[in-house]
């Protein structure tokens, strides 16, 4: 069972440190040798979770096996706004990482190849549909919308950032109803994979509810052909928007992910240490 500790400056029970600053300034948090800096005026709460490993052959969820990971969840008021999750590429608690986490090594290799070769992105099929950008964890959904894709270089390694919407079904979701900015990267030494997701919006997008559907003027579904045309038009529309005009700004998310620092980190040992503990930092304390 996960345990939650509310803290001001120090969380007892897990190695954790907060550097508090004045209102409107940046705050640095660190845990397990990983630190990052964020703006507490933007994110009113940060949860830091030592996620327990779920290897084969006996995970709780056969579709969601994963090594132990370190997760930073960012909240605005009471709502989750995004997260940064760090995955180890080695795990000393298992005999063979590919047997324990079958997809992880292959997905990391595919992402590493993309970051090394840096082809033009997004790549597309002949009908214009974007080819999926590799991610560390299987999303169990398709990337049917991609925009603002570009390579990123950080002090800790390299990554790719992109606007994306995912779906597990054929519903004609409006662009903006499921819009995320995602960053997938690998540390320079290859020991840590970084995966970040943040909910984003843009003031020039037509208003839509979460999971809102695109309909014609009569309120009926527009059909597959028209929907595909709509998606490509919306990709171009958002590509023409500056990163600074999104909410939050895409470059501010890049800055947050880029602030990650690794010092004396032992990710291969997380599997024997992490049991689901959570530290919570609230407000500007």
Q: With cut-offs at 50, 70 and 90, classify the pLDDT of residue 24.
A: low
pLDDT above 90: residue 29:
yes
3-state secondary structure of 275: coil
The greatest distance separating any two alpha carbons of the chain, rounded to the nearest whole angstrom, comes to 61
| Least confident window among 74-78, 139-143, 181-185, 257-261 | 139-143
- pTM, two decimals, is 0.89
Burial degree of 47 (CB within 10 A; 0-12, 13-18, 19+): middle
Q: With cut-offs at 50, 70 and 90, classify the pLDDT of residue 141.
A: confident
| Least confident window among 38-47, 51-60, 123-132, 166-175 | 51-60
Q: Which residues are CB-contacts of 38 (< 8 A; sequence separation ≥ 6)? A: 26, 27, 29, 46, 74, 256, 259
| Least confident window among 5-19, 27-41, 69-83, 177-191 | 5-19
pLDDT of res. 7: 32
Task: Please check whether residue 187 is in contact with residue 72, taking contact to mean a CB–CB distance below 8 angstroms.
Answer: no
pLDDT above 60: residue 19:
no
pLDDT of res. 23: 38
pLDDT of res. 8: 32
Mean pLDDT, range 80-103, rounded to an integer: 96
Determine how many CB atoms are found less than 10 A away from the CB of residue 50. Answer: 22
Mean pLDDT, range 76-101, rounded to an integer: 95
pLDDT of res. 282: 83
pLDDT of res. 21: 41
pLDDT above 80: residue 2:
no
pLDDT tens per residue, range 204-230: 999 888 889 998 888 888 999 999 999
| Least confident window among 27-31, 118-122, 165-169, 250-254 | 165-169
pLDDT tens per residue, range 233-285: 999 999 999 999 999 999 999 999 999 999 999 999 999 999 999 999 986 55
Strand order in the sheet with 16-19: 16-19, 27-31, 34-38, 261-262
Q: With cut-offs at 50, 70 and 90, classify the pLDDT of residue 25.
A: confident
pLDDT tens per residue, range 43-87: 999 999 999 999 988 767 666 899 999 999 999 988 999 999 999
What are the backbone dihedrals phi and psi of residue 245, each rounded to the nearest 5 degrees, phi first? -90, -5
Quote the mean pLDDT of the chain: 89
Higher pLDDT, 15 or 46: 46
Looking at the chain, the whole-number percentage of residues with pLDDT higher than 90 is: 76
Q: How far is CA 246 from CA 79, 121, 200, 210, 242, in A?
A: 18, 20, 7, 17, 8
């Amino acid at each position: 069972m996960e345990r939650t500790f509310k803290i001001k400056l120090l969380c007892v029970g897990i190695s954790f440190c907060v550097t508090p600053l004045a209102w409107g300034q940046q705050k640095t948090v660190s845990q397990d040798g990983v630190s990052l800096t964020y703006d507490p005026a933007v994110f009113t709460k940060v949860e830091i979770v030592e996620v327990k490993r779920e290897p084969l052959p006996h995970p709780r969820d056969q579709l969601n096996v994963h090594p132990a990971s370190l997760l930073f969840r960012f909240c605005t008021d009471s709502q989750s706004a995004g997260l940064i999750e760090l995955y180890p590429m080695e795990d000393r608690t298992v005999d063979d990482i590919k047997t324990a986490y079958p997809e992880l090594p292959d997905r990391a290799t595919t992402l590493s190849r993309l970051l090394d070769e840096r082809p033009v992105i997004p790549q597309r099929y002949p009908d214009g549909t974007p080819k999926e950008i590799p991610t560390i964890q299987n999303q169990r959904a398709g990337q049917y919308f991609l925009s603002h894709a570009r390579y990123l270089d950080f002090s800790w390694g390299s990554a790719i950032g992109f606007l994306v919407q995912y779906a597990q079904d054929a519903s004609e979701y409006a662009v903006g109803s499921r819009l995320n900015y995602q960053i997938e990267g690998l540390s320079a030494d290859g020991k840590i994979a970084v995966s970040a997701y943040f909910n984003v919006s843009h003031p020039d997008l037509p208003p839509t509810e979460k999971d809102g559907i695109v309909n014609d003027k009569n309120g009926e579904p527009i059909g597959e052909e028209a929907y595909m045309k709509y998606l490509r038009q919306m990709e171009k529309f958002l590509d023409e928007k500056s990163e600074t005009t999104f909410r939050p700004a895409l470059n501010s998310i890049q800055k947050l992910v880029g602030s990650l620092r690794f010092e004396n980190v032992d990710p291969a040992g997380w599997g024997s240490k992490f049991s689901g503990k959570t530290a919570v930092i609230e407000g500007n304390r």
